[in-house]
Amino acid sequence: MYKAYTFTEEYTETLKCEPSVDELAAAVRVPINTLRAIRKSGAPQLSLDAPVSKSDSGSRTFAELVGGVDDKDPGDDMDKVTLRSALVEALAKLSSREEKIIRLRFGLSEEDIDSTNFPISKKDFMKLQGGC
């Protein structure tokens, strides 16, 4: 692409006209079809924040049209992962009883009865429930 661009610049400066596709392909030593494909791939870049059209009074942007599959912010998912790892690390520093109390008090289980990740017996649960 750079070779084609520099050749076009020099050709235009010297002869005061644009080179034909055939001349350009011959100068950079590539087939015409390849040159056309390269030119297509070098299309100008668009900003996602640019308005879709100049006459669009609603100021819709390309980002609004393209969006994501589910329109969720990936940063939110990363925040959840970071928060969860910090929480697990903090809970690991507590005694087993303190950890159970914190988990029950703030509802830190994935499900209502998640004995795999947050083991507590029904007896302990009833004892804690009655004490609150």
- Residues 77 and 109: their CA atoms lie apart, in Å, by 18
Tokens of 38: 């390269």
Q: Where are the domains of the chain?
A: 1-43, 94-132
Count of Cβ atoms closer than 10 Å to residue 91 Cβ: 15
Q: For each of the chain's 132 residues, which pLDDT tens digit applies? A: 778 888 888 888 888 888 888 888 888 898 989 888 877 777 677 777 777 777 656 677 777 777 665 667 767 778 888 888 888 889 889 988 888 888 888 877 655 555 555 566 777 777 777 765
Coil, strand or helix at 61: strand
